[in-house]
Chain A
Amino acid sequence: MSAAGYRYGRDAIGTLEIRNGRVIDPASGTDRHAPVYVADGAIAAIGDAPSGWRAERMLDAAGRVVAPGLVDLAARLREPGLEHKATLESELEAAIAGGVTSLACPPDTDPPLDEPGLVEMLKHRARLINRAHVYPIGALTVALAGETLTEMGELAEAGCVAFSQADTPLVDTQVLLRAMQYAATFGHAVWLRPQDPYLARGGVAHEGEVATRLGLPAIPAMAETVALSTIFALVRDTRVHLHVCRLSTAEGVAMVAAAKREGLPVTCDVAVHHLHLCDVDIGWFDSMAHLVPPLRGTRDRAALRAGVADGTIDAVCSDHAPVDDDGKQLPFGEAEPGATGLELLLPLTLKWAQEERVDLASALARITVHAARVLRVPAGSLAVGAPADICIFDPHHAWRVTPAALRSQGRNTPFAGYELVGRTMTTIVGGQVVFEA
């Protein structure tokens, strides 16, 4: 994808200079105070100005970090079909307010993203709205029903960057094998959330003391590990590029680490809320803590946090899932799972880094360049010539999470009232300033 593809409108300015900021580009290991020069939608230079430089616009980033725009591996935009929960307009505003400039959206729309026309329409709408880049994940099977393969070639041409079942289980292991074989033939990546549908059947909370006490039907950790062992056996045979979505258990982290040691072509992500919350946070049936996969135990949370630190888990994502009040004001088990997250990805990742004593550049890598590598798209870096997708944030700005103040149409967050540090001040997409706090 060329940088020229990111040129915006007639009012677009050609050159932009970002001064006085601390430039952190995890892809190149850059971490220094330097000016950033943007021209024609791309990074023109960092440090020394290009010859004959004239800035049409200047931004002062004193006291702020200039980082690549964030890359989110899972953000539900609820289009097509679920506009009562959220729209592309509302969620792409939320994305840029959170510093997210590229996002992958799972195929669990209504209808699912199983036809090229749906994908083209989504891409077209996203281009018109002119905010973050939207990378659709296509449905692996028609209607996500787990029976018939989708036209992956056509879908890829329409813009799908990978294929997935979203949260719908693929029950028939033979179909799963065929899907992997077919995807591997053409080099498509397959993304799967590992959960055995039978072991998870009816469950709404992690099998542990909390679910036992509250009488909530449980999902054992085994539901994840049994599914992972099946998936890895199939990957070993098919060599498909497999991305494990939303890892949730300590045993799962160990299995992914072993698969990587073995040399399987496997990558992995975790939802940022799983780095901070556990089943205890359900409290007295707080439906905001009803998530998929379920919040697990403290031991699992510790393993996930360590897994992100040591690289077993490649990327951290928001797993953004806006849900309306009607969907959440129900008894825990009937409430729709999910949390809004695009605006919290950055501060919650910084919180993890601060608590785990991980340096800023390494933390940002998990939500920029590493995520972009999983997506296999040209994003997440500030290399000269790269698209000028930039997140300028204040790493010391403390703010309180107030659901009503979120730009996402979904106000459903288990972090309401949390004091978080780190806030996006300016977001630049394709060289254009699209958000200013």
Chain B
Amino acid sequence: MSALTGLFRAGFRHQAAFRFALVSGLLTNTFFGLVRTAVFLAVYRSRDEVSGLELADAITYVWVLQAVFATVWAPWLHEFPTRVRSGEWTAELTRPGAVLPRHLAYDLGRTAAVLVLRAPLPLAFAAVVFDLHLPTGIAGVLALLASLALAAFAASCLRLLLGAIAFWTPDFRGVTSLLFGPIFLVSGFVIPVEYFPHALRTVATLGPLGALIRAPVAVATGRLVVGSLVLQVAWAALFALACHLVLRRATERMVVFGG
């Protein structure tokens, strides 16, 4: 366990070192948040509620999205597959202990750094300037933190799964770039999934990608808090299982075909 916390901390420090990138990332996030906020202010001008969301819910969505954006679309997204391709990653297999927990511990450390350093400021800014729908009680805040942690875990797993494509093809960047658009849309990174047509909305809500941003926003705005958390826990477990299976197949392949 202490090895894993060590890796988590190392990952945190690794990502926290990019201070310059941090500040510029904050500014960019805030800018995108302002543009998206303007869109929702405009569409809600003559309406109170659409698809179960009020203006405050939509704007809360915008700023929670800006806060967690970099935890999913992490700047180090391509590091793991690149190391796999170069053969550098093979060294991981020679170290003691299971590979997956170590990989996730380090990656979650980096994600935590991004979350802790990049999320509070845009959220605080938005809470002051706009009318947000955020939890007020202790229980609500704890639920939101738990939901954000689960989302970060799911995101870490998703990155590993995307990166693992590199075990099978040197064209991994091509394949992942083809997947980005659909993942972006379905997980609700462009607009809240509540506005989707019915069938797609159901898939996006109950499916694995709903754990990334839909669930934390729902928890933040106090809609379906328990249901969302339960779904997230279930998907986090399935994500972890998928990672385990994929890594096992990949390492078997490496042993057979050489690194």
A and B associate:
no
